[in-house]
Structure 1
Amino acid sequence: MQALSSVEHGYDLLAPKFDHTPFRTPDGILDATADALRPLGPFGRGLDVCCGTGAGTRVLAPLCQERITGVDFSAGMLARARDAHPDAEWVRADARALPFADAFDLAVSFGALGHFLPAERPALFAGVFRALRPGGLFALPIGAPLPITSGSYWALLGFDLAMRARNALWRPPFVMYYRTCGLDAVRDDLAASGFTVTTVPLPALGQREDGGPRYGLVLARK
């Protein structure tokens, strides 16, 4: 049922069991992100973009001295986040039109970029830029490209091809692609939105066979 729904309704359906699926961002990625951000803080207000059930609170809560806000367009996911983290603020909105301006010092996003087509990323990043105070930071972890010899490479390629076929044959579309948000493209879109962009490795998440990090943390400064 989820696969034949829109993104919004699909996540409403998935919300009650989302935290027990592989789609929830693993704690290891959250903790590695928090470790990388800690020397750059403390921060004031925090924003989790496309917050889902609120897993990003694990990163923001120890780093931010003021209120934490999560934004998502799935009412079902927000209801779960609200139950789990009643002290945070939860806002229902489309991330392509964020309703904030000069309000936050740190923004994060986990596992959401695949829900945006490349042509939609500029609106997403422009909204985050607008939501941050001057000097504010937007952080998001991105995995390194998988080698073509990896089974995961072919699994993700197959998933994306299946999703493209599904969206060509069925409406409404369900946008979820794993191979449309490579590091170079994301960095370019962030820079075009006005950010100064750097990347730091997340060594706690391991290394590839060539010795490079499996994950990097993109740091976009307003």
Structure 2
Amino acid sequence: MFSPQGPSLRELVIQALSSVEHGYDLLAPKFEHTPFRTPDDVLDATADALRPLGPFGRGLDVCCGTGAGMRVLEPLCRGRVTGVDFSAGMLERARRAHPEAGWVRADVRALPFAGSFDLAVSFGALGHFLPAERPALFAGVHRALRPGGLFAFPIGAPPPLTSPRYWSLLGFDLAMRVRNALWRPAFVMYYGTCRLSAVHDGLTAAGFTVTTVPLTALGRREDGGPRCRLVLARRA
């Protein structure tokens, strides 16, 4: 899972015992060499699905990390693209990789934008928000978009109950809950709280019109359903 250039076990333990913000500051120098970085095939599938809906004006990457989402935004947006994250370490790496983009340090639960963007994307970030925090996130993205603007992000289908992946993700979530019950500050990262139905309801409550499209390039499950869908939430 990790390349030789990735973090050591000791570094991962230190990160896991930190807050989310400080943990990502610590991980930032080696983040590109971890499985936590969104794979290029997911980014490319997202870009392919969005291309017929564009071109777009200005673009925003919500919880941008080291800037992998620029692979999607830069070809699709005619205006300037911006990344927002609350980890200074991740933003420093993003700025080095994409100096032409704009970078803003902010808590995305209180985004400092209003009517500024035509397309917003996010990759792998929803698990860092408790269900009670998602309304503020979705409301902020809705506010940041211009009328008719689009918020898009991929979301994986839940693995079958009989699959090893199901039990590994469940075990991870349980371990995180035990860790957060025993240790402060909390490190919020849960895989089981981002079901499509809950995300759909939260986006609708924030004022979005929500559809999804299958990202068939990422494969199908044994039951024939797509492994991943792209959520398309449009501000009316």
Calculate the TM-score normalised by the size of structure 1.
1.00
- Where in structure 1 are there 5+ consecutive unaligned residues? none
Matched, 1:209 2:214: no
Matched, 1:19 2:32: yes
Distance 1:122 1:196 in 2: 15
Distance 1:131 1:7 in 2: 24
Q: CA deviation at 1:110?
A: 0.2
Q: CA deviation at 1:83?
A: 0.1
Where does residue 128 of structure 1 map in the other structure? 141
Matched, 1:111 2:124: yes
- Give the length in aligned residue pairs: 222
Q: 1:192 aligns with which of 205, 213, 232?
A: 205
Matched, 1:101 2:108: no
Q: CA deviation at 1:145?
A: 1.2
Q: 1:74 aligns with which of 83, 87, 93?
A: 87
Distance 1:153 1:28 in 2: 22
Matched, 1:53 2:72: no
Where does residue 169 of structure 2 map in the other structure? 156
Where does residue 138 of structure 1 map in the other structure? 151
Distance 1:112 1:155 in 2: 19
What RMSD, in angstroms, separates the aligned Cα atoms of the two structures?
Answer: 0.3
- For residue 168 of structure 2, what is the amino acid of its counterpart? A
Counterpart of 1:152 in 2: which secondary structure? helix
Q: What is the percent sequence identity of the aligned residues?
A: 83
Any idea what the Cα deviations from partners look like across 1:111-164, whole Å, max 9, x if unmatched?
Answer: 000000000000000000000000000001000111001100000000000000
Kindly report structure 1 stretches of 4+ aligned residues shifted beyond 4 Å. none
Where does residue 6 of structure 1 map in the other structure? 19
Where does residue 37 of structure 1 map in the other structure? 50
- For residue 195 of structure 1, what is the amino acid of its counterpart? F
Distance 1:215 1:42 in 2: 23
Counterpart of 2:56 in 1: which secondary structure? coil
Calculate the TM-score normalised by the size of structure 2.
0.94
Where does residue 177 of structure 1 map in the other structure? 190
- For residue 59 of structure 1, what is the amino acid of its counterpart? V
- For residue 127 of structure 1, what is the amino acid of its counterpart? G
Distance 2:170 2:39 in 1: 22
Any idea what the Cα deviations from partners look like across 1:161-202, whole Å, max 9, x if unmatched?
Answer: 000000000000000001101000000000000000000000
Q: CA deviation at 1:62?
A: 0.3
Distance 1:19 1:90 in 2: 18
